[in-house]
Amino acid sequence: MPNINDYIKWRGDLTFEASPLNEIDNMILSRFSYLPFNKISFRNKETIGSVVRKLSKFGVEEFNIAGDKPLVDNLNNCIRFKNLTLTDYVEDTDLKLEEQFAAITIHLNDKEMYVSFCGTDNSLVGWKEDFNLSFMQNIPSQLAGVKYLKEISHKYNKKIHIGGHSKGGNIAVYSAIFAGKEVQNKIIDITNHDGPGFDETIIGTEEYKRILNKIYTYIPQSSIIGRLLEHEEKYKVVKSIEKGVMQHDIYSWQVQGTKIIQMKEVTNGSELINRTIKNWLKETTPDQRKNVIDILYKVIESTDAVTMRELSSARMKSAAKMLKSYRNIDEKDRKMINKVFVGLGMAAKESIKGDFQE
């Protein structure tokens, strides 16, 4: 069944003047910020065409996931996207601050631009920052997102589309909430592709309520990541050909024409995991959650892995043994950590498998 790469092949000969921005274009542009721009010479002003020509020379191992390589190959010389201007690429990974942030601005025309926030990459510090959402009021990449959006809004006199996938979707919404009224008035829409929500203190703010009707959230039928924390906005359930946690892969989402194929509701499995995580969050304090997450990260760090690809099964087994040596974890928290380990193991396995698939 068709995904966004098939859409590019079908729709790639039409300009945005001939066919306006649609929800599949939005998916593509939100994923675009994941591409490894830090590995190429990036001038102050590039086009999608000029950048993907450089990236198309890379092997699949240079990308965050295997699906990004076909995206680049399909965008190469694609009439619809190739002349869109790229500016203001920012990338910042700080191990000390536990921050992994990247963003890029894509100019659709003289009146509109798309701000794309990168989600979690293959770095373990990126995953740690995701976990920090469970106990921190805000994480460094969210604050960086607010700063970036304010600067872009003041720099260019244009209306703004904002989007992101995974943590990038969360940052997209967070930045729109706290960028201020003047910026909010320039925002056309904010799209969250399977990114976490927020705690009730943020959802209850006037800033959030002002932009609520501009937020569009998409989650796959077995969503786990996108159902973390709270979502006040309604979400659309999209059809994925993957199973379980791997439905988070945006390349598994199915499209038809200019629309994403929708499902009526999420699966029972998604509901069960969602309840389990929410119950754990309700039954623990932020300090308790911080302790659990810090221990989990220290255990994973002990493997000397830096990326998800490096988390081999042998290293995961070694980390699991080390985890048993921690005695200051109660049984409920230990079970939660074990579930996280299983999820990380699956993600690492799929990441490694993806490296050998075109």
Residue-wise pLDDT for 94-122, tens only, equals 767 667 899 999 999 999 999 999 987 55
Q: Is the dihedral of CA 38, 84, 80, 195 positive or negative?
A: positive
pLDDT tier at 137, thresholds 50, 70, 90: confident
Q: Is the dihedral of CA 236, 241, 243, 247 positive or negative?
A: negative
Does residue 160 or residue 76 have the better pLDDT? 160
pLDDT at 320: 57
The answer to which of 60-64, 181-185, 253-257 has the lowest mean pLDDT is: 60-64
pLDDT > 90 in the chain, percent: 48
- The tokens 């709270």 sit on which residue? 230
Give the residue among 319, 285, 289 at the shortest CA–CA distance from 302.
319
Note the helical H segments in 238-358.
Answer: 268-283, 286-301, 313-323, 331-354
Q: Rounded CA gap, 249 and 241, in Å?
A: 10
If DSSP states are collapsed to H, E and C, what string results for 227-285?
HCCECCCCEEEECECCCHHHHHCHHHECEECCEECEECCCCHHHHHHHHHHHHHHHHCC
pLDDT tier at 227, thresholds 50, 70, 90: low
pLDDT at 244: 73
The answer to which of 262-266, 334-338, 340-344 has the lowest mean pLDDT is: 340-344
pLDDT at 297: 61
pLDDT at 198: 85
Q: Rounded CA gap, 126 and 5, in Å?
A: 26
Pairing state between β 112-117 and 159-165 = parallel
User: What integer is the mean pLDDT of 226-231?
Assistant: 66
Residue-wise pLDDT for 31-59, tens only, equals 999 999 999 988 777 999 999 999 999 99
Q: Rounded CA gap, 101 and 98, in Å?
A: 10
Would the pLDDT of 152 be above 80?
Answer: yes
pLDDT at 310: 52
Residue-wise pLDDT for 50-91, tens only, equals 999 999 999 998 998 888 999 999 999 899 999 999 999 999
Q: What is the pTM of this model?
A: 0.80
φ, ψ at 310 (rounded to 5°): -85, -5
- The tokens 């872009």 sit on which residue? 152
Query: Which segments of the chain belong to CATH 3.40.50?
Result: 4-268
Query: For the structural domain made of 4-268, what CATH number should be given?
Result: 3.40.50
pLDDT at 190: 97
pLDDT at 327: 54
